[in-house]
A and B are shown apart, each in its own frame.
Chain A
Amino acid sequence: MVLGTYKEVVAARSTDKQIQKLAQDGGIVSGLFCYALDEGLIDGAVVAGPSDVMWKPEPMVAMSSDEILAAAGTKYTFSPNVWMLKKAVRQYGLEKLGTVAIPCQSMGIRKMQSYPFGVKNVASKIALMLGIFCMENFPYESLRTFISEKAGVDFDLVEKMDIGKGKFWIETADQTLSIPLKETHGYEQNGCKVCLDYVAELADVSTGSVGTPDGWSTVFVRTDAGETIFKQAVEAGVIETKPMDNVKPGLGLLEKLATDKKTKAMKVIDERKAMGLPVPFKGSAEKEDPLANV
């Protein structure tokens, strides 16, 4: 259960060459959104779009494949995507909305769907939530510190950032630099320290890079809605898959990282409780499974 409930887990990637080029990993998010748009399964998707400031994303409603692709790639800082959902429904008039969400964003969305106190006409319009794995996120100024101060690279030259193999990677047109993840400690967002979800356990389909080789993604198909769309996309040849058992490093690494994240967060939660600080999740003593996302 450390990876949440799921129907199927596979290694997968988009078969579209352009998506492969622009995407962070296997292009599952962009590939599935483009497919869902083409097929009319969604009429728009909230994604982390570009802003005037380099690497500082802004939530946007994408209604074409071009707009989906303009937002491809991971930005390791805040993009309050949930904020845009109401606008997408009210101002853009969308009826079948897609959205990409890191685990904590999916929590905001799912809670709103189960308890829509002041939120009229939004809960039922969310047709496809694609979750992405997340170990932690960083304030924008933290990113600047890694890139300008620690790696000594001009922000405007950065073409891709990635976390993997214990390092924070920075790619420009002509070089690839890295800083050890150890040096990023202390720069994470504080709220991440109590986060109990690594693999977007509440999404319809969740995906991330860990577990599969470069250019591929690990994909969990979780809900009925997610299964329907993912299967269709595979049958249409938009996504190609391989069994998870055939790829390296495989599910084992993912289980280890998810367990580490939850164990660490549980410790912080217990410390906070001991100090009398609020924690939204139930205490460890009250839990049957201390690693469950509750």
Chain B
Amino acid sequence: MAEEKAKPRIGYIHLSGCTGDGMSLTENYDILAPLLTDMVDIVYGQTLVDLWEMPEMDIALVEGSVCLQDEHSLHELKEVREKAGLVVAFGSCAATGCFTRYSRGGQQAQPNHESFVPIADLVKVDLAIPGCPPSPEIIAKTVVAVLNGDMDYLQPMMDLAGYTEACGCDLQLKVVNQALCIGCGTCAMACQTRAVSMTNGRPEVNSDRCIKCGVCYVQCPRSWWPAERINKDLGL
């Protein structure tokens, strides 16, 4: 009998998030059952596994940002970094802070819980999957790439681990101001809160709606361009 390859051990760590990223993962109905039974082991995660002690993991999906005033969260994040091979900022709260960027304390029952930062501010992050939530498709593609060791596919996500100060205004600063915008409308299509509209062929961001998830800039064809991958996916 052929020797069985060890299944990657995956943990799901829930910091200051809303479980939306975890929910999005489970929306991969068609591949979820074979994935969980044959391909990976979910070894840790509140809402998923009844286990208190954090085990060693190959991959940790970390959802949510970190509250600097919450000792427990800080401790948990440090522990994840020690126990996981790959730390993934799973969803925009973990990756960019997202709407927790607007937190400013003053609420019961912890009025001093004021400061929330993306996890890369505190520990080294290997991959970021922005999205509020990330689409079920990108989660599935990422898991498949990890299983296959497809580092080419993951490279943009490794690069995005450094993109923590995201904002809708990046479209103006990093695309329009840099003479790169071509008015395609991808940013407006991608924005999950409909904060972006197109006026005279340029994105216009309603900053009152923007939650700083970073998806608009990440999806813009003029921010980074995965040419080889696209040709491969299209069979060109």
Instruction: State the CA gap A151–B233 with chains docked (Å).
Output: 46
Given contact pairs A118-B213, A140-B200, A223-B235, A110 touches B183 in the complex (Cβ within 8 A): no
Q: Are B137 and A123 in contact (CB under 8 A)?
A: yes
Residues of B within 8 A of A201 (CB): 236
Q: Are A189 and B233 in contact (CB under 8 A)?
A: no
Q: Are A202 and B230 in contact (CB under 8 A)?
A: yes
Q: Is A292 an interface residue (CB 8 A)?
A: yes
Interface size class of B (residues with CB under 8 A): 35 or more
| Binary CB contact string for chain B from 205 to 231 against chain A (1 if under 8 A, 0 otherwise) | 000000001010011111111111111
Name A's interface SS. loop
Q: Are A80 and B201 in contact (CB under 8 A)?
A: yes
Given contact pairs A83-B198, A140-B200, A280-B225, A116 touches B185 in the complex (Cβ within 8 A): no
Name B's interface SS. loop
Stretch in A155-163, A169-177, A179-187, A190-198 touching the partner:
A190-198
Residues of B within 8 A of A113 (CB): 230, 233
Instruction: State the CA gap A137–B222 with chains docked (Å).
Output: 16
10 A-B pairs besides A110-B234, A201-B236 with CB distance below 8 A are A80-B183, A108-B189, A109-B186, A111-B221, A114-B233, A118-B190, A119-B189, A123-B135, A202-B236, A222-B234
Given contact pairs A80-B201, A115-B156, A277-B178, A189 touches B183 in the complex (Cβ within 8 A): yes
Residues of A within 8 A of B19 (CB): none
Instruction: State the CA gap A105–B21 with chains docked (Å).
Output: 29
Residues of B within 8 A of A280 (CB): 180, 221-225
Stretch in B32-40, B41-49, B125-133 touching the partner:
B125-133
Nearest chain B CB to A286 CB, angstrom units: 12
- The interface of chain A, by Cβ under 8 A from chain B, is 4-5, 59, 77-78, 80-86, 104-105, 107-124, 137, 139-140, 189-195, 201-202, 222-224, 277-282, 292-294
Q: Are B225 and A107 in contact (CB under 8 A)?
A: yes
B130-152 residues at the A interface, CB under 8 angstroms = 130-138, 141
Given contact pairs A115-B138, A278-B174, A294-B225, A83 touches B236 in the complex (Cβ within 8 A): no
Instruction: Name the one of A83, A110, A119, A121 contacting B185, with C-beta atoms under 8 angstroms.
Output: A83
Q: Are B182 and A116 in contact (CB under 8 A)?
A: no
Q: Is B122 an interface residue (CB 8 A)?
A: no
Residues of A within 8 A of B156 (CB): 115
Q: Is B51 an interface residue (CB 8 A)?
A: no
Instruction: State the CA gap A80–B229 with chains docked (Å).
Output: 24
